[in-house]
Structure 1
Amino acid sequence: MTTTRHLATIDLLRTRAFPARPEASGPLDSGPGHHIGTLATSEDFWEDEDNRSLLVLERYEADRDGLAALLTVRWGPPRTLSLWYVLERLIDDEEMPEPWAALSCHTPDLRLWRVDGRWIGLGVSQHDKELPYELLAVITEVDPP
């Protein structure tokens, strides 16, 4: 049921119009040309739970890869986009477009497809080591930098 719900969310976000201004509502952050939807969120972690954190990360990556396998049947193989270079460019004070700038701060890479003029991405995010992991779906018409 969870996989079905995730696929339905991705399909919904693919057809949803982008807002003129940034807005957030629950598990959805949107802005001009993009949506970032949180498909799943783990629990928070504490410093002494490194082993548990690693197990949760592995589960979230497996969930991402399982969804990617299903989307590969629809759209062909994804490309893997590392966002580290975007973060490095931000650190060097280079301006980066959204959603790529925000994603680079907490998502190391995305599985990415180009479908019907939009980029569709899947990633695993963590804003800080004590914060939860998130399985993200990204839909954007903004080309990667």
Structure 2
Amino acid sequence: MTIAQHLATIDRLCSQDFPAEHGGSFFGPGGPGFHIVELERSAGAAEGEEAEQYEAYREGISQRLTDRWGPPDHISLDGVFLRAHQGDEHIQEPWASLGSHVRNVHLWQPDGHGRWVALGVSRLGPGQEFRLLAVITEIHPP
């Protein structure tokens, strides 16, 4: 897909109702208060150069969103992962599951939406594919 198509998907999800229950929609996983959409996925096990490619792709989409909404916050999710697994604190979805496979996100809160838009690159583990994810949520980041 092209960057323009990804932006159209993000725009659509910004105005679409959230699923009533955990599970998802046509676009991907979701639940009360959030949508997660996979914009791109590597073909298989990926290393080195492909990681840079996915980060560059995120930067391209991020620049277009920055042109619309201003500069994003850059949020590390490493602490979210630790807090969720220590059990000391309840981390709400989608942030709890994102923290387990997304290191950081670019985050905006566009005017008029009441929603957050995040872009991140997911990798479940060594030898696993990369996924470029967009998250649209009304749940405040932890």
Q: CA-to-partner distance for each residue in 1:19-75, whole Å, 9 max, x for gaps?
A: 110113565111000001000000221xxxxxx611111000000011101100000
RMSD over equivalenced CA pairs, Å = 1.3
**Runs ≥4 residues deviating over 4 A:** none
Alignment partner of 1:142 is 2:124:
no
Report the TM-score when normalising by structure 2: 0.93
SS in structure 1 opposite 2:119?
strand
State how far apart, in whole Å, the 2-side matches of 1:121 and 1:144 are: 10
SS in structure 1 opposite 2:49?
helix
State how far apart, in whole Å, the 2-side matches of 1:8 and 1:100 are: 23
Matched residues, number: 139
Q: Which residue of 2 aligns with 1:77?
A: 71
Q: Which residue of 2 aligns with 1:106?
A: 101
* 2:58 partner letter: R
Q: Which residue of 2 aligns with 1:32?
A: 32
Cα deviation for residue 8 of structure 1 reads: 0.7
Identity among equivalent pairs (%): 45
Report the TM-score when normalising by structure 1: 0.91
* 1:119 partner letter: W
Alignment partner of 1:124 is 2:121:
yes
* 1:43 partner letter: A
Unaligned ranges ≥5, structure 1: 46-51
SS in structure 2 opposite 1:70?
helix
